[in-house]
Amino acid sequence: MKTLGIIFSNIHDKEINELTATRTLASVPYAGRYRLIDFVLSNMVNSGIYNVGVITKYNYQSLMEHIGSGKNWDLSRKNGGLVILPPYGRNSASVYSSRFEAISNCAYYLREATETYVVMSDCDNVCNIDFSKVLSYHIEKHADITVVYRRKQIEEGDKKVRTKLEIDSGGRVRKVVTGNKHSGTVNVFTNMLVVNRKFLLSIIDNAEELGYKSFSRDVLIRGVEDYNIYGYEYTGYFASIDNMTNYYKHSLQLLDKNTRDQLFRSGGAIYTKVRDSAPCKIDDTGSVKNSLVADGCVIEGEVENSILFRGVKIAKGAHVKNSILFNNVVVDANSTVNCVIAEKFVHIQESRTLSGHETRPYFLPKNTIV
């Protein structure tokens, strides 16, 4: 069945301010050579979705440079393909302030589409999900909306705002609660869902009359009695990139082969922009242990338990451990770097010592010289 994809590129930017100061959340680098949008884009393409709209808001130049025409995801097409949706609607003079406004602003795109169903997703979910299975479940249940959830253990004192679902034995969502007072094992909404396109347009068209402003509050929470809303449990690898600590933690967890296999070998391939760079060069004085090192890197020092993006240079005598270094970072001779996240073009000069903690990595903004 033909399906349209909608991706929100900016919804959670404020939760990870350090990395989204000059880019969207969708274009945040991840796992040595990818951007966060690569995962959801690849999931959609692998599920047979070849008409995808990416809703933008601000700071989306790097996103556009990365995805381009969509060629690397087989989305450069005469009909359908990849479409960048601006933050303004055809009849709107202001930038959207909520998910529902973002959807409403692209109503023209939904009307012009011919697909029967719409898959919507954020960019902060790193997973390898087959949306075709979600769609089959959605059709089987004759649902208006099917939300993807996962079972999660939430500790006492965890104050992150989440959307919890109460689901009956038949899979129907009976109650939706948004807040930060959850504990124990709960069904957490992943902000991925399938919805009938005409049903979604009817909600948009009647939003003013119905007083709808928020998708979670007005459509999901208030709609459980009126709409057929079902839950689909996703049990595969899942990482939520919702703050710097989790970005650091989930990134370094990929150094474990079993974790990498869960993400990259459990489903379809994850595609990204292809660059023609030279292979990584490890000098006679260099050593690399348990690390992900991208092409174009030059290693003359020691690297351990770290992720190095393209073009990183580690000089002789330098020690890099438990760190994430973005494109073209330079670490000069005899410097020690531990638990650090360094943005693009950071230069760590000779004989420097920089150290953070695994729960609070030390962050260096773009173009910093220390």
Backbone phi, psi, residue 105, to 5°: -65, -25
251-258 contacts: CB < 8 A, separation 24 or more?
A: 251/30, 251/31, 251/307, 251/324, 252/305, 252/307, 252/322, 252/324, 254/31, 254/292, 254/307, 255/290, 255/291, 255/292, 255/305, 255/307
| β-bridge mates for residue 303, sequence order | 288, 320
**Spatial separation of the C-alpha atoms in residues 137 and 146, rounded to whole Å:** 8
Neighbours of 328 (CB within 10 A): 17
Per-residue pLDDT, 161: 65
Per-residue pLDDT, 98: 77
Neighbours of 350 (CB within 10 A): 12
Residue spans of the domains in the chain: they are 3-153+191-264, 281-364
The DSSP line for 288-315 is EES-EE-TT-EESSEEES-EE-TT-EE-
The closest of 124, 116, 62, 54 to 273, measured between CA atoms, is 62
The closest of 234, 198, 189, 243 to 43, measured between CA atoms, is 234
Helix spans in 16-73 (H): 36-46, 61-67
What tokens were used for 251? 């990134």
Reported as type and span, the H/E element at residue 140 is helix 131-140
Q: Which residue bears the tokens 């029967």?
A: 116
**Spatial separation of the C-alpha atoms in residues 29 and 235, rounded to whole Å:** 25
- Under DSSP, is residue 231 helix (H, G, I), strand (E, B) or coil? strand
CATH superfamily of 3-153+191-264: Spore Coat Polysaccharide Biosynthesis Protein SpsA; Chain A (3.90.550.10)
Per-residue pLDDT, 87: 78
297 contacts 315 by C-beta, under 8 angstroms: no
Reported as type and span, the H/E element at residue 185 is strand 184-196
Per-residue pLDDT, 95: 75
State the pTM of this model.
0.94
Average pLDDT along the chain, 370 residues, taken 10 residues at a time: 92 84 93 97 97 92 94 92 81 72 89 96 95 97 97 78 89 89 85 96 83 82 91 96 94 97 95 91 97 97 98 98 98 98 98 96 97
The closest of 175, 166, 178, 172 to 216, measured between CA atoms, is 178
| β-bridge mates for residue 342, sequence order | 325, 364
Helix spans in 158-283 (H): 197-205, 207-210, 244-253, 257-264
What tokens were used for 284? 């006679």
Per-residue pLDDT, 206: 84
* Highest CATH level, class, for 281-364: mainly beta
Reported as type and span, the H/E element at residue 336 is strand 336-338
Per-residue pLDDT, 263: 97
The closest of 107, 148, 122 to 8, measured between CA atoms, is 122
300 contacts 315 by C-beta, under 8 angstroms: yes
Q: Which residue bears the tokens 């303004």?
A: 88
